[in-house]
Structure formats: C-alpha cells, structure tokens
Amino acid sequence: MMQHKGKNERTLAANRRGMQSKQKANGLNVVGTDANEDDIRCFTKYTSIPALGSPDEGQLCYTMWISETKWFIKDMRHLLLLKHDRFWRTIMNNPLALESIASFMQNAVPIYLAHRLNSLENKEVAKLYALAHKTVFQIICRLTTPRKSRNTWMDRDHFASIIYEHFIVSVPLIFDFIFVYGRDNRTVSSIVESVVKLQPKYEVDLKLGLQYLINVFASIQGRCESEMHSQNLSEGVLIDLALYVLDCSYNLGSIVAVTSIMRNMCCDVSIEYPISNFYENVVVVLFACIQSANEQSEYLTRLNDARIELLHAFRSIIYVHLDKILQDPANSLLSADKFLGILTECLANNVFVNDYKKHYPIDVDLEILEQAYSSMDKIKLDFIRNAYMASPEEGKNGQKINRRSQPLEKTPMYASDSNETNCRNEAEKAHEVQSHVEYVMDILPHLDPDYVRGVIEHFDCVEKALAVLLEGNADAQIISDSSKDVNDEIVPEDPLDSFYLQTGIDRLNIYDGDEFDVMSKSNVKGTIKKGKGMPGNPKSFKELLDDKRHVNEMRHVYRQYNTLVDVDDDEYDDTFEAMAESESRHIKFAKGARNLVIEESDNDDEAETDDSETESEPHKLAGFDFCENPEIARKRYEERLISKGVKPHAPRETADVRGKPKGQGQDSKVLQNRKNKNEHKASQGNHNRKRGATFKRSRGMIPS
C-alpha cells in the first residue's frame, strides 16, 4: 500500500503536489518546497562580441569577452542542471535569470554577420559563441515544455497560465528566438506552434507585435525621407539606417519562414503593402544614396540581400491565399479577391513589381485564379496581367523605370583591391554609364537615349548632365548642333529664350510679359482690380460713412471767407450792446462759449476791469456742442433764483437712522430720525407712494 502511494505521488503533476505548490506573500503560485530555498544566484549577462570583424578589434577586448562569456555559460549550465521544481522556482523568483537569457537574445550575432565568426583570428571566440548559442537554446526548450521527464511534469493549463501571466515567454522573446534560431533549426517551428496552441492569448499578442513591425517600417520611411531631404547625409548615418533596414528585413523573413501560423497572422494584419512600400521607398533609395556616397561599401551587397528577404517574405505571405485556393476552390473566393487586391495595390511601386516578377511566376498565379474561378472579373484580371507582364524597361503606364539597383545584378559593386578600383575595365565603365542613362531617362523619358548618353559621356557627371538637359543652356550646344533637336529636325530659335535673357522672366503662360502683366510692369494698361471692391471705391462700410469728398469739393468756397473785412460804421445801432451790459456777464459768456467756466472773484477790482474789457470785445462764438454743460446750467438757475429774491436751498443733511452698533444704546436724535422716516416713508424715499396710488386710481387701475 505504501509503495503504491509513493508511486502515485511521484507521477502527480508538480503543481498539484502539496509539497511543491505554495502561495507567496505577493500572491503568485510558485513551485518549491520552502520560501528560504529561493535561488538568489547573480546570473551573468551576455555581451556582444566586440568589434566583430572590424580593424579596431584587439586582443584585450577579446580576452575580456571570453572571460565574461565563460561565466555566462557556467551560469546557464547551472540553471539547466537544476531539478524541475528548483528550476521553475528560480525562473519565477529570480528576475536575473530571465534577464540573462534575454541578454543573449538581444546581443547575439545577426544572421547577416554570422559568416564573420569564422574569419576571426581568435578561434576560441567562435567556439564559445557556439557553446553559448546551444546552451541558451536548451534553456528556451525547457521554458516552453511542461514535461521534463516521466515523473516531473506540470499540468498544461497551469503551465500556460504561468508562462503567460508572469511574462516568462513574451512576444519579444519569441521574435528574438525566431530571429536567432529560426534559420538553421527546424525545432523552432514546433516550439512556436506548441506555445501558441498551449496559450491562445499569444496569437492576439503576436498580431500586435506584427502591427508594431508595420509601424517600424513607417517610422524608418519617415526618417529616411526627412534625412534624404537635407541632402547632407554622412556615410555613418547611412550605415545606421542600413543596419536598421537589415534587422527589420531579416526579422520579417525569419518570422514568415518559421511556421504557417505566423504567415497566417501576417495575412490577418495586411502586411503585404507595407512590405512593398518599404521596399520601394526605403531600401532602394538607401541603396542609391550609399552607392553615391561610397561605391565600395559592403552594405550595398547587404541591402541587395535585404531586398531578396523582403521579396521572399512577400511571396510567402500572399502564397497563403493561393494555397487556400488550391486546397478548397469552392470556399476561397474571398482569398482570390484579397490576392488580386494585393497585386493591384502594389502596382504603385514600380521597382518592387519588376523585381518580384523576375523572381516569382506571376503568370502562373493568375492562371490558377482564372482556372479556379470562371466568374472572375476578366477586366481586372487582364489589367493586372498586362501590368505585371510589361517589359522590364516599362512601368504600368509605359514609362521607363530606373533599374540601376537590381538585386540580380551580378556585376561587382566594389573592387576587392584598391588597385583594381583605380583602373576599372571598360565593361564596368560602360555599365556605369548605362545606369546613369537609365536614371536620366527615368526623369526625362521623352529624350533620345543616344543623345542622353552623349551628354553624360561629355560631362562625365550625371548631375551636371541632368542640369544641362533640364536648363537647356548654352552648354548643351557643345554636344549637338543648335539648329537641330534630339530627333535631327530643324527647329527655329525660340523667342522666349531671348525674352528671358532680356527681362530675366521665364514665361510660364501666354500672358507673361504682355501689357497687363503687373508682375513685370509698374504701369499697365487699364485698371487692374486687386482684392475686394473696385479701385477708388471705399473698401469697407466704415470708409463709406467716413467719406470726405464733398468737404474737399467745397473747400475753395470757404477759403473765400478769409478775405472778408468787418467795417464798423457810424450808423451801427448800439442798442443791443446797452441791453447786453445790463445782463450778467456770466449769462453772456455762457451764450458765447457754453463749455467754459470762469472762476471769478468779486473782491478783485483788476479782474473785474479785465472782464469788462473782455466783454466789450466781440466774442467769437465757438461751435455748439451736442449738449449743454450742466455746470453752466446750474449756475444760470442759481442766478435766476437770486434775481427773484429767493435764496438757494442748502443741501439737506442726511438724517442718521443707523446709529451705533447693536447693544451699545442709541441717541434720542437717531430714534427720532427713525420715527420720522417710518411715518413719512409714503412721501419720501425714491418716489411718492401716495401720489402714485392716486394717479393709478384716476386712470382706472388698482394700486399695488
């Protein structure tokens, strides 16, 4: 009985054994016996190989790297030899273990640089790297497998929740694992498929990771466009962009090559057009920039390899639709439409289309669609066939395209020796001239190729030749006769050329330089209307109201009044002056200038004398204001009262009804004021209430 009990306990899943599943303080289920047995080992992180294959490599750097890598391998072997429960407890409780594993994934030698390991002088570097490469792969296999042996295993559901919820196997780790091990190890495919089937949540996360890769393509394209616009790129910046492009291209190529699950995910996120756009606007343009900066750069070959990787990835993704059509034609009409839609969308990228149809049989693919679906839109199918089956020299509109950077070009991109570079043979020079001719023909397709070749060979510089062809100046006459065009036809001299030399104005339409051209002439014939309104008319309603033209018209009439002379003869009637002297000088002054107030002093005799002299003189009346000055009106009212013998009322004192604060007692005067205010409030205040009520009754209304 005891023997059967021990056997059953050994065969139980590790997460179901009471001695191996315990709840920690942080709420995580960890596998282990006791809390004090957690592995607190400090794991060494892997560092990249210093100056891989560069002239700066030194023996001291390699010695330090070898020492650190040996410690790293030792720590990985220690982790690999742990028992099942101890291994998982270390992974979950010691974050340094996963950081050490991730450090190798991040600093491993890329696929496109793996050939340099064998060319190193220190052979021990390659051996240690291969050993570390193998050890980390064994640890990844153990991290993605719930069973170690017959007696040590973990329940699949519990295992799936552990690796997902605790980020033991994450999307970046999967992508790095595919990039490092996916090309030369078939086991990677089964590992990725088992992880996705074990935990379906990884499928959603992996699609988000692919969407992030699409965003990376767009960001690289944006940076390339901004950097290329400045035209001041150094070779170092171009190399950094090239390395970024290589990483993205080989990553995508490894992802689609490892398993069909990843290819289906790529179809779901529609990554096909971003690949073609990235190929056309980043890889090809970057290749041309590096070639113009340094024709001997090794990254030209690397970029051609990246182009082949992108073409292969694109083919692998769209072949998913063809595979569905071949397996089940009756239920794959949607796949056929998607396939044609992808091909139609990619037609905007001429270089990508020409490179793709050279590598893969697009005509065979279209034949499969035509045979599988007889009801397919023939017009759309013929359009795609004609566009992809066009000659390599023409694009979809018959325009010539630039083929100066094709992946299949086998001509040497750079000489292996400096002496051979200085004395290139005639074949290489002819190929270079031909590439320049194709570049110019891509910009100016209407010119004759022989004429363009002659211009390029004469100047030995494609930029200067292109400038001469675009400007059409006197330097072009060195190549051909000025009386003949590119087709040997006699043409007359263009009068616009002489007009440009005389005025410096390039006629862009038939109206440039005529009698109405305000851009070249200050005075033109007629009236040129600019902006709102007609010339001379008010431009706004405010200007219309503020029109002073009638004042200017009558100004000469009023100027004549300046010549009038006031003659005082003997027959002048002084009766009015006698009447005016009887009036108050204040009233008379108010009639003359109503906005002025003069402070007077009755006690000052000299002031009275001056005022009398001033009054005797004729006043020059000022212009009347809109309203009378209230101070003058009040003064006139007081004088009228005084003339009637009525004394003006002094300002009434305000009765104090407020008094002292509450609790301090009030004066009898304050109390009397309050009583008077209460008794007479009907006739005082802001209006006479009794009078108002009487008025309402007289009108037949009811007072409130």
DSSP string across 646-696? PPPPPPPPPP--S-SPTTS---HHHHHHHHHHHHTTTTSTTS-HHHHHHHH
Q: Are residues 207 and 164 in the same domain?
A: no
* 324 is a domain residue: yes
pLDDT band at 132 (very low <50, low <70, confident <90, very high): very high
Amino acid making up residue 625: D
Give the chain's length: 704
Enclosing H/E stretch for 559: helix 549-559
Q: Are residues 267 and 337 in the same domain?
A: yes
Enclosing H/E stretch for 250: helix 235-258
What is the C-alpha separation between 150 and 160, in angstroms, rounded? 19
Q: Any idea what DSSP says for residue 150?
A: S
Other Cβ atoms less than 10 A from the Cβ of 415: the count is 15
The tokens for 679 are: 């008794």
What is the C-alpha separation between 326 and 397, in angstroms, rounded? 32
* 574 is a domain residue: no
pTM equals: 0.54
Confirm if 388 and 357 have CB atoms less than 8 A apart: yes
* 163 is a domain residue: yes
Q: Are residues 151 and 210 in the same domain?
A: no
Terminal-to-terminal C-alpha distance of the chain: 110
Name the domain boundary from 356, 389, 422.
389
Q: Are residues 136 and 260 in the same domain?
A: no
Token pair 């007696």 in the structure block, residue:
151
- Please tell me the predicted confidence (pLDDT) of residue 472: 66
CA 653 → CA 28, 647, 681, distances in Å? 89, 17, 17
Enclosing H/E stretch for 178: helix 171-181
* 31 is a domain residue: no
* 621 is a domain residue: no
Interhelix angle 333-345/299-327, nearest 10 degrees? 150
- Please tell me the predicted confidence (pLDDT) of residue 331: 80
Enclosing H/E stretch for 77: helix 59-80
- Please tell me the predicted confidence (pLDDT) of residue 671: 92
Q: Are residues 252 and 317 in the same domain?
A: yes
Enclosing H/E stretch for 22: strand 21-23
* 689 is a domain residue: no
Q: Are residues 160 and 82 in the same domain?
A: yes
pLDDT band at 313 (very low <50, low <70, confident <90, very high): very high
* 332 is a domain residue: yes
What is the C-alpha separation between 294 and 300, in angstroms, rounded? 9
Most confident of 105-114, 329-338, 414-423: 105-114
Domain that holds residue 453: 444-477
Enclosing H/E stretch for 453: helix 449-459
Answer with the residue of higher pLDDT: 288 or 601.
288
Taking the CA atoms of 376, 378, 380 and 382 in sequence, report the sign of the dihedral they define.
positive
Q: Are residues 460 and 366 in the same domain?
A: no
Who's near 204: CB < 8 A, 6+ residues apart? none
Q: Are residues 216 and 325 in the same domain?
A: yes
Q: Are residues 212 and 334 in the same domain?
A: yes
Q: Are residues 144 and 276 in the same domain?
A: no
pLDDT band at 377 (very low <50, low <70, confident <90, very high): confident
- Please tell me the predicted confidence (pLDDT) of residue 118: 78
* 182 is a domain residue: no
Query: How many domains in the chain?
Result: 3
Who's near 168: CB < 8 A, 6+ residues apart? 91, 92, 98, 143, 162
Lowest average pLDDT, out of 363-372, 376-385, 484-493, goes to 484-493
What is the C-alpha separation between 122 and 59, in angstroms, rounded? 8
Name the domain boundary from 169, 194, 224.
169
